Structure 1
Amino acid sequence: MSPVQLLAQSAPAAPASDFSNDSIGLMIGKAVAILLFLLLSVLFALWFERRVIARMQQRLGPNVRGPWGLVQSIPDALKLVLKEDITVKGADKVIYFIAPLISVVTAFLVFAVIPFGPEARIPFTDIVTPLQLTDLPVAVLYFLGVTALGVYGIVLGGWSSGSTYPLLGSVRSTAQVISYELSMSLALVSVLIVSGSMATSQIVAAQETTWWVFALLPAFVVYFISMVGEVNRLPFDLPEAEGELVAGYQTEYSSMKFAWFYLAEYINMLNVSAIMVTVFFGGWRAPWPISQINDGMFNEGWWPVLTFVIKLWMAMFVFVWLRGTLLRFRYDQFMHFGWKVLIPVSLVWVIVVAVWQAVQQFTVVGTYDLRTWLFAGAGVLLAIALVLALLPEKKKDEEVSSGPEFTDAARRKQVATTAEGETEGEYFDAFAGGFPVPPLPGQKLPPSPRKIKVATPAGETDGGAQASTAGTDPDDQAPDSKESNDG
């Protein structure tokens, strides 16, 4: 085989769908249909989430407005629109207004490349068109780029509010997206290698016989965890942790601007779920044995749209299930898991898939069984990921560079004394459990080295501060003060 032929085979495949016959009016109609689908899906998701969590907690949930409370989402949405719109006095007015718009506009853009089905005839017409707005040879990169831009809305919204809690939420969001966007991208790389294309319609076509969730199981696990962190949902909702940041980046927002952030969150849930269904679960293709009924009847016409929607809402159910069962991670645990578990595992898996694809490309066809080796590699990587996740973190005693030494062991033994030399009791070790906790009544923290002022030989204090050195020995302090003044 010549080098030219090898390059031709390795080049990304073009989209499987043909949009050359779509008129401008048809494209506008598709865009409006997608917009209505997303808005109605968000309204249904509000009801769906409350009903499912209510059942998990043995409650009824919405059950008054409409049958089974189905209309409850409409007054909830109207309530947000009709509330008073308050603008913070110290906010950057322009960015404060633009930030939620960035989040919601970028959220609407992702479904432009999602295939709902194959080509089908529009009812009451003779027009045959792909059930997809458009497709790109780099559609997966388009998805990753749009989701990354959507985070600017959260970051700018928290920064422009001019308040502490929103700023902390936006900073957390920045670190979270950088971390979990990397693992999500690496999880998709192995799919692109095996599919031979970044076009979503071509990825669906490549799963005609085997869904990639079975052949690329480690990549699916990494993507699933990363997508939950990407959309700030429990147990990874650190940017809006109401227990510590009130509401995070959206604390200072109200009325319609708050509703835009709320709308963007639910649409992003639909976005990442749709990508997961498209990339790992065969997209609009019906599962076996349904796909074998009447010579593949359910993979033709408008039936694939129903299949896609069912898969999409099964993924949304998992989102709600996680929220109703899991607790929020600590921020250090969250970042540790992303950088030290997900990213290394996905990197190793990408290397394994790339090497094997190269072996298959440049060896005699039929010598090796690709799926067998991929399953074996998946099992090994899952075992490594489990071991990495269960390994305890090593704790080291932190020593303070100035003043007396206060290691974790020394804090428990050090005795607190007043200026008159009276004993108050043992110092409380706030870091004994590995995470700082405040002292209870009657407990005393060791003095901060920054507050210990060293007296000069003439009896003057450094910087005008008092010469009180509570918790230190005056005999031990004199040589240190002399050395510090000589320096």
Structure 2
Amino acid sequence: MKSVLLSTTMTEWLAETAPWLPDWIPMFVAAAIHTALIGLFFGLPAFAFIWAERKVSGRLQDRLGPTRTGGRFGWLQSLADGIKLVQKEDLAPHAADRMLFQLAPYIVVVASFAAFMFVPFSDGWVSVGSDVGLFIALAVLSLEVLGIVLAGYSSGSKWSLFGGMREAAQMVSYEVPLGITAVIPVLIAGSMNLNEIVSIQSGGFWNWLIFHDPFSFLAFFVFFTVTLASNKRAPFDLAEAESELVGGFHTEYSGMRWSFFFLAEYASMFFVSMLGAILFLGGWWTGLPFIDNSLVAVNDSSFAYGYLTRVLGMVVLLVKAGILVNVQIWIRWTLPRLRIDQVMTTCLKYLVPISCFLFLGATLWPLLLAATLQRSNLFSPIGERVPRPRVVAPRNLEIETARLSDPTQGVR
């Protein structure tokens, strides 16, 4: 698939359709569309997965879950909860630092929201395309812990403070194995551009990076385990441990400010699931060569069909992310919560050394194959960067053509 940015095509289409408009209007419209789309993907996962959490947990515990609101399956339960929370009074403790207390939920929401801007939903469909997109996305998402620490500190409650400090220790520790395991696909692909990491996984499910070598296979499970801790999901939900800290860092929050924390949590669950699918599970590729190859051929032949194939790729990516989110829900209602000392021991004593070993193994794996099989990989498509056409500005076309015909031209 050729990379086509929605902002670029929308801006060009508006400029061609209404050339009398000022230059800033098409850019503003494209930015507004991007904001609306990201807001949609930020809010809808929380709407769907809060309902899924209740239904899945109900089935695991031999209950029915929501059944009345929204029909037989209770699919409007999340909407009913949102309407209820909007009507609740916004309260703050007298001992709280009111400015920080009110600011903390917004920091958490903005961090989770902004992380989606760097993730491609399909080939070229990314709000902010960057060659270091993975690094920026993880850096922005890590800012969520600042809001949680501020929420615990500013609440004027020792239970909230304990929850915030637990989350600070947990997040700072688990970011180490998270970063190491996320770098393994970067090492294999030779790029931190998420679009390129997915592009080299085309051709079949055996080309997905999870099957590249034994080390990347294990790295996916370490990555998934670490993301559970980064999202405060059980068995790593020490920041809000209801049985120990009443409600943890958000004990003193009510109404919409309380809901912001959970909106950000479910959005972050969806984000890390998308990131795991992009890094290890082929992203928007179906894994079936006869489908993926036909999509590439159709996409290269027609502009309209190219968008349809990107929509299909986006659906594939969302399905993969949804499956991983359901696995997170399944784990929450299956495993008991760990103690804080067990959480830190799991990270520092086990996950950090394991992730370092996997990174070293993924580094030496191509050298081992080169020494034994005279090739750097088992399957040829892996590691081959997708060629991209060279774009030349029209005003420099003659100069560029002359330079290519005579390489010595312009060299002093």
* 2:272 counterpart residue number: 272
Contact 2:284–2:314 (CA under 8 A) maintained in structure 1: yes
SS of 2:143's equivalent in the other structure is helix
Residues in 1 aligned to 2:34 and 2:172: alpha-carbon distance in whole angstroms: 33
Contact 1:113–1:132 (CA under 8 A) maintained in structure 2: yes
* 1:101 counterpart residue number: 106
Deviation readout 1:76-128 (Å, 9 max, x if unpaired): 0111121121111011111111111100011111111222222xxxxxxxxxx
Q: 1:144 to 1:301 in 2, by over 3 A?
A: closer
Residues in 2 aligned to 1:240 and 1:337: alpha-carbon distance in whole angstroms: 19
* 1:319 counterpart residue number: 328
2:90 matches 1:85: yes
* 1:211 counterpart residue number: 208
2:61 matches 1:64: no
Q: 1:112 to 1:358 in 2, by over 3 A?
A: farther
Which has the higher mean CA deviation after the structures are superposed, 299-308 or 86-95?
299-308
- What amino acid is aligned across from residue 166 of structure 1 in structure 2? S
SS of 2:40's equivalent in the other structure is helix
- RMSD value, Cα: 2.3
* 2:14 counterpart residue number: none
Residues in 2 aligned to 1:289 and 1:62: alpha-carbon distance in whole angstroms: 40
Matches within 5 A, 1:11-160: 20-23=8-11, 24=27, 25-67=29-71, 68-118=73-123, 130-160=124-154
Q: Which residue of 190, 194, 197 corresponds with 2:191?
A: 197
The gaps in structure 1 that reach 5 residues or longer are 1-14, 119-129, 373-487
* 2:236 counterpart residue number: 236
- What amino acid is aligned across from residue 265 of structure 2 in structure 1? E
* 1:460 counterpart residue number: none
Residues in 1 aligned to 2:150 and 2:210: alpha-carbon distance in whole angstroms: 36
* 1:168 counterpart residue number: 162
* 2:281 counterpart residue number: 281
- What amino acid is aligned across from residue 30 of structure 1 in structure 2? H
Which structure carries more relative contact order (alpha carbon 8 Å, separation 6+)? 2
Residues in 2 aligned to 1:284 and 1:107: alpha-carbon distance in whole angstroms: 22
CA drift of 1:341 comes to: 0.9
Q: 1:88 to 1:207 in 2, by over 3 A?
A: same
* 1:225 counterpart residue number: 225
Q: 1:295 to 1:197 in 2, by over 3 A?
A: closer
Deviation readout 1:230-275 (Å, 9 max, x if unpaired): 0001111001000000011001111121111111111111111111
SS of 1:88's equivalent in the other structure is coil
Deviation readout 1:150-171 (Å, 9 max, x if unpaired): 1100001001111110110011
* 2:407 counterpart residue number: none
CA drift of 1:355 comes to: 3.4
Deviation readout 1:187-223 (Å, 9 max, x if unpaired): 0111111111111101111211411112211211110
Residues in 2 aligned to 1:100 and 1:34: alpha-carbon distance in whole angstroms: 19
Residues in 2 aligned to 1:356 and 1:74: alpha-carbon distance in whole angstroms: 50
Contact 2:120–2:194 (CA under 8 A) maintained in structure 1: yes
SS of 1:177's equivalent in the other structure is helix
SS of 1:233's equivalent in the other structure is coil
Matches within 5 A, 1:399-478: none
Contact 1:90–1:162 (CA under 8 A) maintained in structure 2: yes
* 2:399 counterpart residue number: none
Contact 1:139–1:200 (CA under 8 A) maintained in structure 2: yes
* 1:306 counterpart residue number: 315
Please, what TM-score do these two structures have when normalized by structure 2? 0.79
Pairs aligned (count): 345
Q: 1:358 to 1:368 in 2, by over 3 A?
A: closer
Please, what TM-score do these two structures have when normalized by structure 1? 0.67
CA drift of 1:306 comes to: 1.5
- What amino acid is aligned across from residue 54 of structure 1 in structure 2? G
Contact 1:115–1:283 (CA under 8 A) maintained in structure 2: no
Residues in 2 aligned to 1:135 and 1:94: alpha-carbon distance in whole angstroms: 35
- What amino acid is aligned across from residue 316 of structure 1 in structure 2? V
